[in-house]
Amino acid sequence: MTTMTEASVREFKMPDVGEGLTEAEILKWYVQPGDTVTDGQVVCEVETAKAAVELPIPYDGVVRELRFPEGTTVDVGTAIIAVDVAGGAAPAAAPADVPETPAQAAEEETEPQGRQPVLVGYGVAQTSTKRRPRKGADVPRQEPAAQALQSELNGHGPAAAAEVAATRPLAKPPVRKLAKDLGVDLATVTPTGPDGIITREDVHAAVAVPAAEPVPQAAPAAPVAAPAAAPAAPVTYDTARETRIPVKGVRKATAAAMVGSAFTAPHVTEFVTVDVTRTMKLVEELKTDKEFAGLRVNPLLLISKALLVAIKRNPDVNASWDEVGQEIVQKHYVNLGIAAATPRGLIVPNIKDAHARTLPQLAEALGELVATAREGRTTPAAMQGGTVTITNVGVFGVDTGTPILNPGESAILAVGAIKLQPWVHKGKVKPRQVTTLALSFDHRLVDGELGSKVLADVAAILEQPKRLITWA
């Protein structure tokens, strides 16, 4: 295991680049051992469950070691790069050196330490941490399992650690959070870590094979054969006919969030088809208005404004469900989420306080949101705190859909493709610009009447956009 004994060597640890995140994947290193770095220089790009983020180093020096290769997922708080702040040259390659794992890092600590808050790009402050004695040294040290518990208890003492050990499985906080997110009971997981500690792999294995053990006891031959044959599938995997893509980062988080939302919030979806010919004419007029010079004006702008007006007229729809307190939390602000498809997966950044913006300000915010998402520069903060969302499936030529709520939000509006269709207008069938809207809402927060009113208001505004003035 690599150790940095020189006082001049600093280790930069993976920071918590988003509220509550526990791990990040190293996408790309911008430096190599021997390179000189300066305070604030970006050394790598990492991807969390929410976004890709560039990490700056917080000191000057020469890179001594990159602890993990690109493509590795690393726990928050784990050292990822070592820098000689005295400016010494990089050491010769040491084949025997092995990157330090989170478990080893925990084993080296002689005193438990609670998790320390960090800022993006700034590691945890250095301390005079004592290291464990080498093998053979007759010095007592705390066992890793006890240390993990002691760290988790934030210094509540050995008695508290013993009490926890007797009542629940051993696992570090990030692993406990992973199990909670995946709905896994740690009491049912078989630990493979040192001293009986449950690892991430153990949790994932429990999800992959939820009922593997009881099956052989229940059935004699035929039923057992089918599950036993399943692991052999990868051996005959034909790479010419199939491609397997690891699900991680944004895609993995989105999948987990959507499953959680779909099975937690009782969804109701209502639909309405509406003539938006007048709205489309207004879009064309606004494109030539000097107030919108340099701004992107499209149907989404007016649809967003229509939803904001509908929320103002029906404020109870803008709320969230507090599961712990069993309360409905009404929001007196609207953080409007816009679902955006990116190469890394679906993300939903939101426009903060969208309700207080003028139409040109809303157009500017939408333009910045979309451009940032396409460039992969959306920050975790931009995706937190949303209250309602719009997803424009019409850009793909789709007429409508039944969207799943963004977790923690009360409603999501799907906008279908706007097409010329035969429509009865002023008593005659004429070609008109028509679209279908779909509103999904959490039935714990929004009953059918309220949801119908919101959807009807959005449709009425898009049919007669002058209501943006009379209703606002």
Least confident of 27-41, 265-279, 368-382: 368-382
Q: Which residues are catalytic?
A: 443
Which of helix, strand or coil describes residue 176?
Answer: helix
Across residues 133-153, what is the average pLDDT? 41
Task: Provide, rounded to the nearest whole percent, the portion of the chain with pLDDT above 70.
Answer: 68
Domains of the chain, start order: 9-100 (2.40.50.100), 140-235 (4.10.320.10), 254-470 (3.30.559.10)
pLDDT per position as a tens digit, 180-198: 777 788 888 888 887 788 8
Mean pLDDT of the chain: 77
Encode pLDDT of 49-70 as tens digits. 667 788 899 889 999 999 999 9
- 134 pLDDT band, cuts 50/70/90, is very low
71: pLDDT strictly greater than 60: yes
What pLDDT does 135 receive? 41
The verdict on pTM exceeding 0.85 is no
Rounded mean pLDDT, 344-353: 88
Helix, strand, or coil (residue 218): helix
Does residue 206 or residue 394 have the better pLDDT? 394
Sign of the CA dihedral with 361 first, then 365, 368, and 371 last:
negative
Check pLDDT > 80 for residue 162: no
Residue 392 has pLDDT above 70, yes or no: yes
- Overall size of the chain counted in residues: 472
pLDDT bracket for residue 321 (50, 70, 90): confident
Give the other-Cβ count within 10 Å of 286's Cβ: 18
Residue 370's closest CA among 412, 410, 336, 414? 336
Across 1-6, average pLDDT? 48
Q: What is the largest CA-CA distance in the chain?
A: 96
- Any idea of the CA torsion for 243, 247, 249, 250, to the nearest 10 degrees? 90
Q: Is the pLDDT of residue 87 over 70?
A: no
* CA distances for 196 relative to 61, 144, 150, 191, 252, angstroms: 40, 10, 15, 5, 27
pLDDT tens digits, one per residue of 234-251: 555 667 777 777 766 666
Q: Is the pLDDT of residue 211 over 50?
A: no
Neighbouring residues of 187: CB distance < 8 A, sequence distance ≥ 6: 168, 169
Q: Residue 228, Cα to own-chain centre: how many angstroms?
A: 35
Q: What is the token pair recorded at 169?
A: 């499985």
